[in-house]
């Protein structure tokens, strides 16, 4: 039986408010940190920025701290349970996740081939979360060393500077890939809408995140059966 | 709900990446300098980006002079050979720039500023030293405390070679523990002044940088 019109209009909640807020805060502060970092670092800015470059370097530290801490605080304050679920979801990889990643690395997603069924986050999105989280720790550690460098061994400060820059370049490359995915790929705009309004089309969930879609449908059936039983009583 | 095929890969990958980062921080000593210095430049300039606000005068030993004046009892005007005859000091220190880049373990050789002050017999009223570049534009100052540190140098060699022209030949101020904008290039004059708590504003300080460039 072909899906009804209702199926194509139906949307499933993929990201709760706390997740969306944490995501956009991280994105906003990452961009601000990256731009301020480039302004501090690029020799071309020396003449036209003058002393303002020193001020930028001071703000950069606070922007970086906000980038790491605010999203975490938002999740902890608004939806701690969801944070725990998210962490578990990113941690646990099914056979399908591993197979999905192996196939994606061979270019199957780019060629539009059928991929193994995925949960709410596919394996690529899980890799993205792991990389962003590890880099946030890296930014916090190296940024902390650079903020409190007086009295620390100079080799450590010097190395922290190098690693901080390396992380910034890597994170920016990841960011560009992330943005390209949204604007270039077939369903990118639906994923973007999911991160803005929280919901994605049900057909997309069934096609790309079948395991999650099945879970949601099963939960809905259980709820409907429960409501039905209560109505009978 | 857990499945027999499920694996805790996420946490392992995260911990692995964090450990790799820490390893780079603590064990990457041999790798990092090579990466950060690239391959360009001579052995003495490798890793240094050359930032100047104006070109300094080309060094000619016969005509070059270093003037030490202001609040000193014995003003000096030294030729390069006379300057090099003062007690020589060598230190290895990391160099850091406010731009975020740095060069590890740079060997600086020169004359400690305090040796120069001893020769010029500093007036006790002096509380700052102003260093003038031959470019006619760049100046910066040190407090007396900074100037008297044993590793505050007027360096004429870097990494065992004469300072290259673009790094300030023949003399460059070296103030370990401070950002590079204190490292005045092409120094031709040192003036002792009584600036009081206001201090003296050099080229970048006039544009908003703090006089205390401590890292």
pTM: 0.69
Q: How many CB atoms lie within 10 A of CB B16?
A: 12
Nearest chain B residue (CA) to A165:
B100
- CA dihedral over A77, A79, A84, A87, signed as positive or negative: negative
Q: What is the mean pLDDT of chain B?
A: 86
Which pLDDT value is given to residue A54? Answer: 73
- Between B185 and A4, the more confident residue is B185
Return the residue in B1, B8, B21, B106 with the most chain A beta carbons within 10 A, the one to mutate for interface testing. Answer: B21
Domains and CATH numbers, chain B: 40-207 (3.90.420.10)
- The percentage of chain A sitting over the pLDDT mark of 70, rounded to a whole number, equals 93
Residue recorded with tokens 């539009």: A112
Q: How far apart are CA B89 and CA B109, in angstroms?
A: 6
Write out pLDDT tens, residues A63-107.
999 999 999 999 999 999 999 999 999 999 999 999 999 999 998
Q: What is the mean pLDDT of residues B73-99?
A: 91
Residue B30 has pLDDT above 50, yes or no: no
- The percentage of chain A sitting over the pLDDT mark of 90, rounded to a whole number, equals 62
Peptide bond into B170 cis (omega under 30): yes
Q: What is the mean pLDDT of residues A127-150?
A: 90
Q: Is A98 on the interface with B (CB under 8 A)?
A: yes
Which pLDDT value is given to residue B42? Answer: 44
Which residues of chain A does B3 touch, with a Cβ-Cβ cutoff of 8 Å? 94-95
Do residues B97 and A165 touch, judged by C-beta distance below 8 A?
Answer: no
Domains and CATH numbers, chain A: 16-200 (1.20.950.20)
Q: Is A50 on the interface with B (CB under 8 A)?
A: yes
Peptide bond into B93 cis (omega under 30): no
**Which tokens hold the place of A103?**
């196939």
Q: Is A186 on the interface with B (CB under 8 A)?
A: no
| Interface touch B17/A134, C-beta < 8 Å | yes
Q: How many Cβ pairs closer than 8 A exist between chain A and B?
A: 123
Q: What is the mean pLDDT of residues A200-213?
A: 94
Write out pLDDT tens, residues A15-36.
999 999 999 999 999 999 999 9
Residue B172 has pLDDT above 50, yes or no: yes
Write out pLDDT tens, residues B150-169.
999 999 999 999 999 989 99
- Between A172 and B179, the more confident residue is A172
ipTM entry: 0.86
CA of A137, closest CA in chain B: separation in Å?
7
Q: Which of B28, B14, B126 is nearest to B75 (CA)?
A: B126
pLDDT grade, residue B33 (50/70/90)?
very low
Which pLDDT value is given to residue B86? Answer: 95
- Pairing between β-strand B187-193 and β-strand B66-70 as defined by DSSP bridges: parallel
């Amino acid at each position: 039986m072909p899906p009804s019109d209702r199926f194509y209009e139906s949307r499933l909640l993929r990201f709760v408010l706390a997740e969306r807020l944490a995501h956009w805060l991280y994105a906003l502060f990452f961009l601000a940190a990256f731009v301020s970092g480039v302004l501090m670092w690029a020799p071309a800015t020396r003449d036209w920025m003058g002393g303002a470059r020193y001020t930028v370097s001071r703000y950069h530290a606070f922007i970086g701290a906000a980038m790491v801490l605010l999203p975490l605080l938002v999740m902890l304050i608004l939806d701690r349970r969801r944070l725990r679920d998210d962490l578990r979801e990113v941690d646990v990889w099914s056979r399908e996740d591993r197979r999905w990643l192996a196939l994606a690395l061979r270019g199957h997603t780019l060629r539009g081939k059928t991929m193994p069924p995925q949960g709410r986050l596919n394996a690529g999105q899980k890799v993205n979360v792991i990389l962003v989280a590890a880099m946030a720790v890296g930014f916090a550690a190296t940024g902390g060393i650079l903020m409190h460098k007086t009295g620390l061994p100079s080799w450590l400060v010097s190395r922290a500077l190098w690693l901080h820059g390396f992380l910034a370049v890597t994170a920016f490359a990841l960011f560009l890939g992330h943005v390209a995915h949204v604007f270039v790929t077939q369903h990118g705009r639906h994923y973007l809408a999911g991160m803005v309004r929280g919901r994605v089309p049900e057909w997309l969930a069934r096609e790309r995140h079948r395991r999650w879609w099945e879970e949601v449908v099963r939960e809905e059936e259980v709820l409907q059966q429960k409501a039905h039983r209560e109505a009978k009583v | 709900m857990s499945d027999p095929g499920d694996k805790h890969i996420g946490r392992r990958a995260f911990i692995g990446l964090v450990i790799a980062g820490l390893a780079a921080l603590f064990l990457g000593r041999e790798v990092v300098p090579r990466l950060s210095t690239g391959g360009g430049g001579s052995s003495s300039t490798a890793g240094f980006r050359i930032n100047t606000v104006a070109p300094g005068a080309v060094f000619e030993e016969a005509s070059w002079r270093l003037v030490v004046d202001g609040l000193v009892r014995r003003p000096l005007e030294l030729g390069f050979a006379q300057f090099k005859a003062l007690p020589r000091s060598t230190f290895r220190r990391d160099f850091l720039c406010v731009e975020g880049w740095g060069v590890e373990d740079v060997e600086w050789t020169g004359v400690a500023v305090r040796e120069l002050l001893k020769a010029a017999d500093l007036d006790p009223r002096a509380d700052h030293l102003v260093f003038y570049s031959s470019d006619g534009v760049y100046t910066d100052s040190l407090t007396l405390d900074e100037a008297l540190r044993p590793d505050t140098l007027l360096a004429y060699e870097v990494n065992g070679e004469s300072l290259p022209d673009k790094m300030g030949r023949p003399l460059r101020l070296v103030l370990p523990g401070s950002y590079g904008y204190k490292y005045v290039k092409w120094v031709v004059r040192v003036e002792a002044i009584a600036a009081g708590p206001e201090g003296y504003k050099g080229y970048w300080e006039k544009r908003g940088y703090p006089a205390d460039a401590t890292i």
